[in-house]
């Protein structure tokens, strides 16, 4: 099933995400939601990353004839029963990166197990077909923020096999390891299988 026009519309207006998607899905024109929908803000009322990604993808598909791609991602800390999980971006009352990290570090006080993982669920809708793929980066949460790159929980997350936090890494290295990239590579394989 050849993909006509090779256009994919993404359920985000976040330039960081769009750039990362363009780097991986080479040969496709990647367009943000805002080119088709004004104020695209679907109600992410799902109970998992994949449910929220599907909500976003289906909401965008109502406005678009092209294939659509949506993701939902966040951090899961095992000793906190998966917190902050789907609430990663709104974990604290303030909802800022700094306040979210402070709340996480306070919740982890006294806990020996600081293992965690970043999770990304990607949903691609092509016609009637719904493709769902997940990507993970396992690591641990340190005791105080380090580094000025990245965003979110990057200053307190060290991926397995490294001594640098995501916020201390060059963006190009972090992007190679990222949970979003891992999910996207699986989506890319599906696209290549379709586009014959």
What residues act catalytically? 72
**How does DSSP assign the chain, residue by residue?**
---GGGEEEES---HHHHHHHHHHSTTSEEEEGGGT-TT-------SSHHHHHHHHHHHHHTT-SS-EEEEEEEEEEGGGTT-BGGGGGG-SSS--HHHHHHHHHHHTTT-S--EEEEEEEEEEEETTEEEEEEEEEEEEE-SS---SSS-TTGGGEEETT-SS-GGGS-HHHHHHH-HHHHHHHHHHHHHHHH--
């Amino acid at each position: 099933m050849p993909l006509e026009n090779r256009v994919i519309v993404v359920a985000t207006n976040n330039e960081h995400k769009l750039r990362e998607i363009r780097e991986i899905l080479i040969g496709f024109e990647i367009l943000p939601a805002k080119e088709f929908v004004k104020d695209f803000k679907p109600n992410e009322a799902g109970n998992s990353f994949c449910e929220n990604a599907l909500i976003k993808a289906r909401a965008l598909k109502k406005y678009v004839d092209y294939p659509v791609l949506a993701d939902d991602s966040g951090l899961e800390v095992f000793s906190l029963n998966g917190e902050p999980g789907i609430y990663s971006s709104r974990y604290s009352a303030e909802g800022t990166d700094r306040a979210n990290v402070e709340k996480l570090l306070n919740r982890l006080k006294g806990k020996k197990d600081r293992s965690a993982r970043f999770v990304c669920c990607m949903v691609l809708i092509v016609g009637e077909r719904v493709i769902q793929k997940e990507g993970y980066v396992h690591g641990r949460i340190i005791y105080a923020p380090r580094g000025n790159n990245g965003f979110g929980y990057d200053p307190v997350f060290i991926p397995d096999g490294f001594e640098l936090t995501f916020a201390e890494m060059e963006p190009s290295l972090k992007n190679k390891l990222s949970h979003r990239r891992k999910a996207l590579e699986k989506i890319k394989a599906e696209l290549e299988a379709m586009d014959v």
